[in-house]
């Protein structure tokens, strides 16, 4: 991999560090990236499913996942892990990501990971050919393509240091602060950087100077390189070897900071854990000298570094090896931004014509479109285009439950309300409020319990026993008037449809074995219409490829009862209109139909 990142690179951000993520997205917006550079966030303790961020003046949602495995499964294209876990968990998070696989780069920000663990982690990453940036780093940047978190600082600093578009220098430092400083110096004295990495300040970091320089040697965008080393360690000698052996041929400018160390007693450790010379060869002076000896451009002092950069850059420019840069267009991140109060992911009314999950209403509404209510529901409830057999099933359900006569609980209540002089909407809502676990609202419960029994391979007898212990009647079983002798023909119709059009009906097959047992006890304990709908919807979703978690979520959120609510609203409205048409007077229940058993209240 010659380039660390491209304009398509996406990351999974471990820890919901909103400020750092917003900085990445502001950068993306500025450089006019098409996709956000953060595809997913791992928030192990968060309860939400997404986090909102600004994208220019607008807002976007980034999905949250509980763990890296889920995030990677949902966003397999994201091949960078930005590990912002604390030093206590950063090792585990990295090791887990390495075992999940599919990451090219892992950046670790935490400082102070125990050195033994850091070495182990880096060794495994090397084995798997994964570039580790850090620990103890602000990360890396491919200007104009992808920027990790806070590297480069504020957006104003990024623009003034020309980090918003690619230049020609490959920059490698240990320190993040000096990385920013040098980016600015390079922008002033040359044309900016093509790729830059702050490898991190810990003694044992994943990718070391040589790893990054060898990659930059292969990256055609990089024309020369700048290495900012430090007192301590011997990594610079590997670079010297690579220059000597001809593995690196591009010009390198290098400086080791910490030449002041000689004025202190030996063993002084500077800012970074690794910044301490344990031998003469590890001093900044020795390393600077050795680098100069193999032809690396080493300035007289840090103050002279800008001149060296200008010298090397101008030389390459004169030789025609570096061309002129056409400054790209950028977006400006607005200073004042407003959070949106509501989110809508199903429909959009901002254009000439409103859309349902992307489809203009006119493309669904009229008969010539070939679309029906099942298609509209699949778009607005599930944001998916279901196949015909599934939309036909949805419509069959709605038509099947539209009404069951005036005597059923909900219709009765709607009628009484209409007769009390209430409006259509009030009377309808009264009917709807009657829908519950005994009447019409057992669909979710049926799906939940039968699915549980089937998932856990309970025999019908075990299932009945389980429900007895739960202390609830089995949702979807039993009917006031329907029985084996007086079968519910709606149920027969739904089963016939499923047998003919469903790819498979495993949950229905299981439910029928339960029904055999319940009807052997009492003949009205049939699989009722609620039960049949709930169970067949699970079979439908499984056949459509939904995961078990997604199906469980539908059940938990009450999606299944919603089919009854939609269907039965048609019937309730019919009954209310019937009352109005007939101009029926207020209803009073006959007193002889009430058992009055009122005793004088006892005095306390
Ligand atoms: N699971 C287990 N046992 C049941 C069930 C059930 N779902 N339903 C009734 N029973 C048993 C009762 O425990 C009772 O037993 P017992 O005689 O030993 O005491 C016996 O059957 C009769 O119980 P009732 O409540 O009198 O039955 P009824 O026929 O009046 O009730 C009802 C019908 C309310 C639908 C009931 O079967 C039930 O609660 N079912 C579960 C909820 C459900 O599926 N509702 C949707 C119905 S379809 C629709 O509304 C569109
Ligand atoms: C219905 O569809 O409303 C019924 O199955 C309930 C009933 O009591 O008939």
CATH number for the domain harbouring residue 515: 1.10.230.10
Mean per-residue pLDDT for 239-258?
A: 96
Residue corresponding to tokens 């003694």? 203
Output the six-digit token pair for 546.
Answer: 């939904």
| Minimum mean pLDDT range among 257-271, 314-328, 546-560 | 257-271
Q: For residue 528, give the ligand 1 atom closest to its CA.
A: 48
Cα-based distances in Å from 470 to 420, 435, 450, 467, 473: 40, 22, 14, 5, 9
* Secondary element (H or E) of residue 171: strand 169-173
Residues 284-315 have pLDDT tens digits of 999 999 999 999 999 999 999 999 999 999 99
CA angle 347, 349, 350 (to 5 degrees): 125
Would you say residue 330 lies in a domain? no
- Give domain status of residue 275, yes or no: yes
Look at residue 388 and tell me if it is in a domain.
no
Q: Which atom of ligand 1 is nearest to the CA of 439?
A: 50
The boundaries of the domain holding residue 52 are 11-318
Q: Which residue among 318, 343, 369 closes a domain?
A: 318
User: Quick one: 94 and 239 in the same domain?
Assistant: yes
Number of domains the chain is built from: 2
Retrieve residue 551's tokens: 């199906």
Sheet containing 146-147: order of strands: 146-147, 139-142, 193-198, 169-173, 224-230, 252-257
Mean pLDDT estimate for the chain: 95
What pLDDT score does 47 carry?
86
User: Is 457 domain-assigned?
Assistant: yes
pLDDT on residue 279: 78
Indicate whether 452 and 563 sit together in one domain: yes
Burial class (CB in 10 A: 0-12, 13-18, 19+), 285: middle
- Compare 43 and 234 and report the one with higher pLDDT: 43
Q: Are 224 and 171 in contact (CB under 8 A)?
A: no
Set 164, 272, 479, 575: catalytic member: 272
| Predicted local confidence at residue 184, as pLDDT | 96
Q: Is residue 44 in a domain?
A: yes
Residue 329 lies in a domain: no
Are residues 47 and 195 both part of a single domain?
Answer: yes
Q: Is the dihedral of CA 364, 378, 343, 19 positive or negative?
A: negative
* 272 is a catalytic site residue: yes
**Long-range CB contacts (within 8 A, 24+) of 478-484:** 478/518, 478/524, 478/525, 478/526, 478/528, 479/524, 479/526, 479/528, 480/524, 481/524, 482/524, 482/526, 482/528, 483/519, 483/523, 483/524, 483/526, 484/519, 484/523, 484/524, 484/526
Cα–Cα distance for residue pair 159/214, rounded to 1 Å? 28
- For 428, phi then psi, to 5°, come to -60, -50
Pocket flag, ligand 1, residue 216 (CB < 6 Å): no
| CATH at 177 | 3.40.50.261
- The mean per-residue pLDDT over the stretch 135-142 comes to 96
Whether residue 276 lies inside any domain: the answer is: yes
Other beta carbons less than 10 A from residue 277's beta carbon: 24
Indicate whether 391 belongs to any domain: no
pLDDT exceeding 70 applies to what percent of the chain?
97
Task: Return d(Cα 58, Cα 48) in angstroms, integer.
Answer: 20
Would you state the pLDDT for residue 203? 86
Nearest-CA residue for atom 47 of ligand 1: 439
Q: What is the pTM of this model?
A: 0.82
Q: What is the pLDDT of residue 584?
A: 97
Task: Give the separation between CA 499 and CA 581, rounded to whole angstroms.
Answer: 41
């Amino acid at each position: 991999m010659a380039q660390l990142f491209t304009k398509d690179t996406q990351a999974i951000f471990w820890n919901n560090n909103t400020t750092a993520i917003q900085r990445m997205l502001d950068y993306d917006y500025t450089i006019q990236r098409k996709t956000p550079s953060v595809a997913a966030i791992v928030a192990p303790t968060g309860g939400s499913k997404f986090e909102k961020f600004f994208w220019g003046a607008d807002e976007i949602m980034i999905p949250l996942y509980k763990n890296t495995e889920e995030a990677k499964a949902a966003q397999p294209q994201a091949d960078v892990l930005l590990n912002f876990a604390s030093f206590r968990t950063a090792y585990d998070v990295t090791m887990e990501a390495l075992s999940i696989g599919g990451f090219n780069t892992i950046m670790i920000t935490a400082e102070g990971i125990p050195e033994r663990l850091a070495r182990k982690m880096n060794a495994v990453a090397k084995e798997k050919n994964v570039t580790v940036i850090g620990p103890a780093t602000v990360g890396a940047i491919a200007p104009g393509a992808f920027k990790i978190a806070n590297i480069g600082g504020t957006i104003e600093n990024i623009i003034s240091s020309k980090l918003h578009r690619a230049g020609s220098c490959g920059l490698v430092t240990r320190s993040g602060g000096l990385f920013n400083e040098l980016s600015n110096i390079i922008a002033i004295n040359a044309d900016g950087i093509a790729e830059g990495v702050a490898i991190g300040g810990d003694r044992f970091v994943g990718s070391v100077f040589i790893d990054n320089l060898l990659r930059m040697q292969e990256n055609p965008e990089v024309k020369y390189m700048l290495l900012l080393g430090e007192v301590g360690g011997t990594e610079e000698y590997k670079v010297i070897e690579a220059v000597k052996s001809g593995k690196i041929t591009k010009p390198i400018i290098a400086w080791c900071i910490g030449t002041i160390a000689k004025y202190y007693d030996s063993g002084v450790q500077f800012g970074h854990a690794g910044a301490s010379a344990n031998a003469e060869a590890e001093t900044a002076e020795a390393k600077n000298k050795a680098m100069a000896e193999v032809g690396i451009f080493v300035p007289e002092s840090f103050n002279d570094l800008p001149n060296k950069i200008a010298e090397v850059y101008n030389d390459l420019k004169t030789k025609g090896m570096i061309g002129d840069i056409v400054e790209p267009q950028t977006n400006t991140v607005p200073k004042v931004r407003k959070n949106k109060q509501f989110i809508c992911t199903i429909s959009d009314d901002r254009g000439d014509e409103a859309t349902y999950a992307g489809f203009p209403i006119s493309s669904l509404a009229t008969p010539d479109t070939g679309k029906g209510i099942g298609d509209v529901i699949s778009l607005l409830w599930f944001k998916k285009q279901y196949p015909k057999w599934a939309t036909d099933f949805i419509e069959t359900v709605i038509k099947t439950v539209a009404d069951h006569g005036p005597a059923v609980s909900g219709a009765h209540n709607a009628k009484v309300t209409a007769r009390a002089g209430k409006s259509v909407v009030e009377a309808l809502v009264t009917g709807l409020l009657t829908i519950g676990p005994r009447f019409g609202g057992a669909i979710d419960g049926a799906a939940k319990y039968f699915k549980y029994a089937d998932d856990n391979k309970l025999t019908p007898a075990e299932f009945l026993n389980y429900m007895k212990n739960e202390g609830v009647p089995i949702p979807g079983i039993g009917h006031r008037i329907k029985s084996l002798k007086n079968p519910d023909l709606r149920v027969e119709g739904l089963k016939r449809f499923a047998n003919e059009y469903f790819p498979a009906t495993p949950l229905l097959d299981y439910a029928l074995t339960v029904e055999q047992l319940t009807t052997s006890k009492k003949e009205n304990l049939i699989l009722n219409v609620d039960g049949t709908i709930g169970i067949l919807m699970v079979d439908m979703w499984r056949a459509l490829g939904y995961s078990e978690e997604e199906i469980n979520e539908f059940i938990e959120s009450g999606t299944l009862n919603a089919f009854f609510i939609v269907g039965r609203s048609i019937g309730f409205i019919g009954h209310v209109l019937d009352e109005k048409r007939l101009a029926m007077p207020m209803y009073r229940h006959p007193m002889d139909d009430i058992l009055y058993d009122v005793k004088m209240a006892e005095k306390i």
